[in-house]
Amino acid sequence: MASKLVLNNKELTEEFFDETRLLGIMAPMKDYQFCWQLNTLMNMDLRSNPEIEIQLIRKKRTYYFSIYSYYENNSALCHFIYKNHIDGEFLLPEFKHLDFLWLMKGDIVSNETIDQVMAAIKLISGVQLVLDLASEKIINKENLVF
């Protein structure tokens, strides 16, 4: 008799979010426009990464949430920009007012760095709000795991 392996999604999600920082951004614009402005302002190279885009099935329909990624040179730190909504569906329904989520993963990010990044984001025309989100307060954070 073969034993079944059961995937522990809760443990997987906790591991994924270990030593991450997450920002929520309200900026009613296209994802490529927002990332282009971040690239220009912050000397980054965020690019659409279809290999890790999130697929959610809701109401018998599949929704695709784009993710842009940037891996810092000489560092383990990776940046991921998620589009939070598509066609009236949300990656994180508890944050319907947010257009984008910025996940920093792979290295420790200090509060000072977060403050600098938040200040830079606020310089972008069209950005209305930037929040530092505590991952333990996010109800549907498994939706962000790729």
Quote the number of domains for the chain.
Answer: 1
Q: Does a structural domain hold residue 9? A: no
Q: Does a structural domain hold residue 71? A: yes
Q: Does a structural domain hold residue 15? A: no
Q: Does a structural domain hold residue 12? A: no
The answer to whether 56 and 143 have CB atoms below 8 angstroms apart is yes
Among 39, 111, 119, 26, smallest CA distance to 79 is for 39
Q: Does a structural domain hold residue 93? A: yes
- CATH code of the domain covering residue 41: 3.30.310
Q: Does a structural domain hold residue 5? A: no
pLDDT number for residue 9: 67
pLDDT number for residue 28: 96
Q: Does a structural domain hold residue 3? A: no
Cβ atoms within 10 Å of 77's Cβ, excluding its own = 17
Which residue stretches of the chain have pLDDT < 70?
Answer: 1-9, 13
Q: Does a structural domain hold residue 10? A: no
**Torsion region of 126: left, alpha or beta (phi above 0 gives left; psi -120 to 50 gives alpha):** left
pLDDT number for residue 6: 54
Contacts of 47 (CB under 8 A, 6+ apart): 35, 68, 69, 70
Model's pTM, two decimal places?
A: 0.86
The rounded distance, in Å, linking the Cα atoms of 114 and 77 is 13
Structural domain containing residue 80:
20-144
